Amino acid sequence: MSTAKRRRILGIIATDLTFERTEHRGREAWLGKCLHCNAHLLVGLDGEPISRATIEHIVPRTAGGTDTLENLALACARCNQGKGTRHDPHYHRDARARELVEKLLARRRERWRAPDGGDEDSDPE
């Protein structure tokens, strides 16, 4: 995995309240939750996924979604692939797909924390 991708994952972790440092098999790691199903996700302190954690673009890139932290979250591979297959291609014409995206954006805002060194009152909106 590229260094840039690992840095992006660590940025997501830094802004997600569900992630905490823990010990896993004799080494420290980040433990958090999938944005969709709340399954546990493990990521090494270097940003390398230990479990099947993937970067989720909440608003799909095909619909104008960006790589800003507010639009990114970690999801298990199963949930991320399912959303990408079932909902992302239909975003513009399917009300259910847009509703799912709004729900995920709201969940991301609820889980938001300011990254270390940032403004504690910062909000992703």
Per-residue pLDDT of the chain (125 residues; tens, 9 = 90+): 899 999 999 999 999 999 999 999 999 999 999 999 999 999 999 999 999 999 999 999 999 999 999 999 999 999 999 999 999 898 999 999 999 999 999 999 999 999 875 544 445 55
Other C-beta atoms closer than 10 Å to the C-beta of 30 total 26
The encoded tokens of residue 32 equal 């958090």
CB within 8 Å of 114: residues ≥ 6 apart = 15, 120, 121, 122
